[in-house]
Every structure is written in C-alpha cells, then in structure tokens.
Structure 1
C-alpha cells in the first residue's frame, strides 16, 4: 500500500478543494440574492426630486398646474 503523505491520498485533497470551492460559491450566491433589486432603467442610488415629482404626476396625485409649478421651483 502506497502512502501520499500524512495519511491522505491525492483524491482526499481534491475533495477538500472542491468542497471549499462549492462552499464559497454558495456564499457568493446567497450574498448576491440578498442584494436589493432595481427596476430596469433606474440607478441603484437614491431617487432625485425630479423622479419623485414625475412619479407623483404619473399616478395622478398632483395636477398639471401643480406639477409645472413644482418643476419650475426645482429648476431654479
């Protein structure tokens, strides 16, 4: 019987390396899955006042006059 060092054969070392790589891969996948998702076309950063105003106008929360007035305040 041939010995490969401290009682472990080459297959045992390969098994440990593969197991370690699989564990790292699982951790990376869990971390990636836990990141917040952003809709397409939006940045991951905070929304600007212009975006919030446009969304409120699109939902009908404010009238056209209110939208234009607030837009002019933001632009100045």
Structure 2
C-alpha cells in the first residue's frame, strides 16, 4: 500500500521541498503547454510564413517590383531612361 500508515507520500517523504518542486514542475509544464498552443494557433492562422513581415505586414507586390527595379538600376543593369519608364509602368498598373 503506497498511501498506508507508513507510505512514502505522507510519512518520511520529501516534505515541503517535494511539494514546492512539484508545484514548480507543474507551472513549467502548463507554461510550455500554453506556449505550444499559442504558437500553433499563430502558425496556423498566419499560414505558416514568417518571412516578409518587417514592419508588421508583407510588402505589396508593386512595392517589391519597385525595389527590384531600383536594385537593377543600382547595379547598372538598366539606364535611367529605362528605369523611369518601367517605374512609371509599375505605378500606372496599381
């Protein structure tokens, strides 16, 4: 009998230290469970993608196109006239 007259749980057990340890372990366990649930909900609700979230949201497609165009111009792949023409085209099709 584990909980009988001389059972380890009540007489001669870990005493208060055991109860404190069990309490801390349970708090840590439930903290991990709650954290896992919150992360799972955020992952599923957000579609699972964590990139392109600088500034709280993803950049619109036209803004990304402008960035790519600016990078090409900065690398010298296109000249200023082509840059302006394409930038105008991108902004007109919004």
Structure with higher RCO (Cα < 8 A, 6+ apart):
1
Q: TM-score range by the shorter chain?
A: 0.3 to 0.5
Larger Rg: 2
- The TM-score, its normalising length taken from structure 2, stands at 0.41
- The TM-score, its normalising length taken from structure 1, stands at 0.46
